[in-house]
Amino acid sequence: MKFKDPELKKGSFLSITLLILSGELIFLLPYVLARVFRPTFLEVFNLTNLELGSLFSIYGTVALLSYLYGGVISDKFQPKKLIAISLFFTAFGGTVLSTYPSYLMLQILWGYWGFTTVFLFWGAMIKATRVWGGSKNQGEAFGLLDGGRGLVAASMGTLGVVIFSMFLTNDIELASLVERKNAFRYVILFSSLIVFLTGILIIVFMESSIESAINKSASLIPNIKSVLKIQSVWLIMVIIIAAYVGYKVTDIYSLYASDVMNFDNLEAANIGSLQLYLRPIVCLLIALFADKKSYIHLIIIGFIIMLVGALVFSLGIVQVNMNYVFFFSLIVVATGTYAIRALYFSLMQEGRIPIVLTGTAVGVISVVGYTPDIFASPVIGYLLDTYPGIIGHQYVFSMLVVFSIVGLWASMRFNKLVTSFK
């Protein structure tokens, strides 16, 4: 089946701004809060690292099914309604979380979020971003998207810490569990409100800008068959798997600060929030320069940087009272990770994936590429619980070393493929 891409021009600033806001805020409740407040989150919900990892695994399992079918839907319909509906349903889940439900209810809730944040949302967001960038600005489009998302996440993390502190009557170490739970409830409710209001902004202000890239006759099986015949799709899958493991490891930075560096819970939360600011810095730099370079060349460099940083942590070099080494190593790993994240969907352009198949391609790629949502968090949780202190963290970063090497290999293969096109 032959597909001819429509002529697309770069979209408006308003459209990309709304995509940025929705693209991160929809993950605020299931992911960002637990990343920034991990020690507090474990405490107030009475969870182990393995139990929290299992929640993420449930989310990932439901999400994998949602990616595939949701991708085809995004090739048939405008993103505006799809994105807004997703935000509304996700926000509702936050009101449930604020009641501190049982672990069984938490499992159901994370499965629910695996559906609401992906099925109608993910393919629509990625496709709208690709179309916004036009033919020549894919690096800028996805760099702005992920950089902007990172800035939103960091800002919300910082704001969350402020709200949490405001509702504590005592110092964090002196506050009772009840006080901490009450303070954190306000963080959850505020987050839910922000997600809901973003859905309203999407309905009111988002432009219907991708009409030309819609295929209303799109169907599941033929589209999937067409996508699977594209060689670049398979390599992008592997690249995303490797990069996403690196992203999952960012979940433990605040815990590393607490367990190994002996930071208190509030200081650890600040570390979790601080590393989030690296994401917009790296991604926005990518947005400025990526379209002047080969996307895959930058990704290869990203994997090399991630590998070096992971090796430092895996060897146990970063220990208590070595704050400067900790910050430097954290920056190195995060820089490599975020640089790759900013660009891996830009590879669809270099890999010659038709725009009208973008949603389906994103769905197929994501089904495999985001499998770390299923296995990474439980494995990380198991390692941290079984091997307390620095040893468990070393094992986690050793896993990242392995995936960095795999990602580097796939990137070099993709580069060879792109060279053969010329």
Tally of domains in the chain: 1
Tokens found for residue 367: 């089904």
Q: Look at residue 196 in the predicted model and tell me its pLDDT.
A: 96
Residue 385 structural domain? 13-207+217-421
User: For residue 281, is pLDDT > 80?
Assistant: yes
Instruction: Decide if 1 is inside a domain.
Output: no
Collapsing DSSP to helix, strand or coil, 354 comes out as coil
Instruction: Decide if 24 is inside a domain.
Output: yes
Q: Look at residue 212 in the predicted model and tell me its pLDDT.
A: 47
Q: Which of 258, 279, 259 is nearest to 268 (CA)?
A: 258
> What percentage of the chain reaches a pLDDT higher than 70?
92
Instruction: Average the pLDDT over 214-237 and give the result.
Output: 80
User: For residue 319, is pLDDT > 70?
Assistant: yes
**174: pLDDT confidence band, cut at 50, 70 and 90?**
low
Q: Look at residue 26 in the predicted model and tell me its pLDDT.
A: 95
Using CA atoms in the order 291, 292, 295, 296, what is the torsion angle rounded to 10 degrees? 170
User: For residue 171, is pLDDT > 70?
Assistant: no
Average pLDDT, the chain: 85
User: For residue 172, is pLDDT > 80?
Assistant: no
Instruction: Decide if 8 is inside a domain.
Output: no
- In angstroms, the first-to-last Cα distance of the chain is 22
Q: What are the percentages of helix, strand and coil residues in the chain, rounded to 5? A: 80, 0, 20
Instruction: Decide if 3 is inside a domain.
Output: no
User: For residue 375, is pLDDT > 80?
Assistant: yes
Tokens found for residue 81: 């309604």
422 vs 149: CA distance, rounded Å = 34
Radius of gyration of the chain, Cα coordinates, nearest whole angstrom: 20
Q: What is the number of other CB atoms lying within 10 angstroms of the CB of residue 240?
A: 25
Instruction: Decide if 278 is inside a domain.
Output: yes
User: For residue 3, is pLDDT > 50?
Assistant: no
Instruction: Decide if 399 is inside a domain.
Output: yes
305 vs 108: CA distance, rounded Å = 38
Q: Report the CATH number that the domain containing residue 102 is assigned in CATH.
A: 1.20.1250.20
Q: What is the number of other CB atoms lying within 10 angstroms of the CB of residue 1?
A: 9
Q: Look at residue 217 in the predicted model and tell me its pLDDT.
A: 54
305 vs 205: CA distance, rounded Å = 39
Instruction: Decide if 189 is inside a domain.
Output: yes
Task: Name the phi and psi angles at 27, rounded to 5.
Answer: -100, 5
Chain centroid, CA 77 distance in Å? 24
> What percentage of the chain reaches a pLDDT higher than 90?
36
**316: pLDDT confidence band, cut at 50, 70 and 90?**
confident
User: For residue 95, is pLDDT > 90?
Assistant: yes
**421: pLDDT confidence band, cut at 50, 70 and 90?**
confident
Question: For 107-147, what is each residue's pLDDT tens digit?
Answer: 999 999 999 999 989 888 888 888 888 767 788 888 889 88
Collapsing DSSP to helix, strand or coil, 321 comes out as coil
Task: Name the phi and psi angles at 168, rounded to 5.
Answer: -95, 125
Longest dimension (CA), the chain: 66
267 vs 171: CA distance, rounded Å = 12
Sign for the pseudo-dihedral over CA of 136, 142, 145, 148: negative
Q: Can you give the pTM of this predicted structure?
A: 0.79
* Contact criterion met (CB below 8 Å) for 121 and 82: yes
**246: pLDDT confidence band, cut at 50, 70 and 90?**
very high
Instruction: Decide if 413 is inside a domain.
Output: yes
Q: Look at residue 262 in the predicted model and tell me its pLDDT.
A: 84
Instruction: Average the pLDDT over 277-299 and give the result.
Output: 83
Q: What is the number of other CB atoms lying within 10 angstroms of the CB of residue 415?
A: 18
Q: Of the ranges 43-52, 69-78, 166-175, which one carries the lowest mean pLDDT score?
A: 166-175
Q: List Cβ neighbours of 267 (8 Å cut-off, separation of 6 or more).
A: 257
Give the CA count within 13 Å in the CB-facing half-sphere of 89. 19
Task: Name the phi and psi angles at 35, rounded to 5.
Answer: -75, -45
Instruction: Average the pLDDT over 203-232 and give the result.
Output: 73
What does DSSP assign to residue 27?
Answer: T
Greatest mean pLDDT among 106-115, 150-159, 221-230: 106-115
269 vs 377: CA distance, rounded Å = 19
User: For residue 407, is pLDDT > 60?
Assistant: yes
Q: Look at residue 170 in the predicted model and tell me its pLDDT.
A: 65
Sign for the pseudo-dihedral over CA of 199, 120, 95, 32: negative
